[in-house]
Structure 1
Amino acid sequence: MKQEENPWSKGIVLICTKCSKSISTKSLKEDGNTADNLKMYLKKSFKDSGDGGKVRVVTSSCLDLCIDETQAVTYCGVDGITETFAIHPEEDREKILQYLRNKISE
């Protein structure tokens, strides 16, 4: 097995794709899959701030945190610490972005 050097220096963000099925479209402003929308928002925000190489943002299958009307998001730092959140994919996106920015600046 060949091990590659980590292409991102601080961590990875996993966004559950299954959660979008449990979020009411009435509470959403954007069309499309909530996981993909949140992923693109975070990726663009990190790229625009110059932090794109510090964190990888990807969608994932079920993260096994199933709470109606929320999106599961997990941050896995290169330090081995993993944190999982249940957020609203639009209303809480600024909060999770700021939290992740703080994590990758430590």
Structure 2
Amino acid sequence: MIKKEENPWSKGIVLVCTKCHKSISSKSLHEEGNAGENLKTFLKRSFKESGDLSKIRIVTSSCLDVCIDELQALTYASVDGDTETFTVHPEADREELMQILRMKIKG
């Protein structure tokens, strides 16, 4: 039997592609490991510190079919059904990305 469940997050979900890291030069990265996993960890930590982690879920995903060399793809999907896909440098654009996502969950 299929049972519909309520979302444990109130505003939306972020899907971070883990395949993108293969196209990002290690010379442009400071952190070791998978750039997508590292970005997910950064976002989760930042939302936890601000007390907003219950509003947003941040998970890794397989390929989002937005493959641009040297950039990380991620999609934000609101609980209202609107989705937006972004491409960012996984380290250099973190703070700007956080500002965008914070604006999304404030509404």
**Alignment TM class, shorter chain as reference:** over 0.9
**4+ long deviations beyond 6 Å:** none
Partner of 1:61: 62
Partner of 1:4: 5
Partner of 2:101: 100
Structure 2 gaps of 5+ residues are: none
Normalising by structure 1, we get a TM-score of: 0.99
Alignment deviations for residues 3-48 of structure 1 (CA, whole Å, 9 cap, x no partner)? 1111000000000010000000000011110011000000000011
Partner of 2:80: 79
Between the two proteins, the alignment pairs up a number of residues equal to 106
Normalising by structure 2, we get a TM-score of: 0.98
SS of the residue 2:73 aligns to: strand
SS of the residue 1:59 aligns to: strand
Alignment deviations for residues 28-87 of structure 1 (CA, whole Å, 9 cap, x no partner)? 011110011000000000011000100000000000000000000100001111000110
Aligned-residue CA RMSD in angstroms?
Answer: 0.4
Matched, 1:25 2:22: no
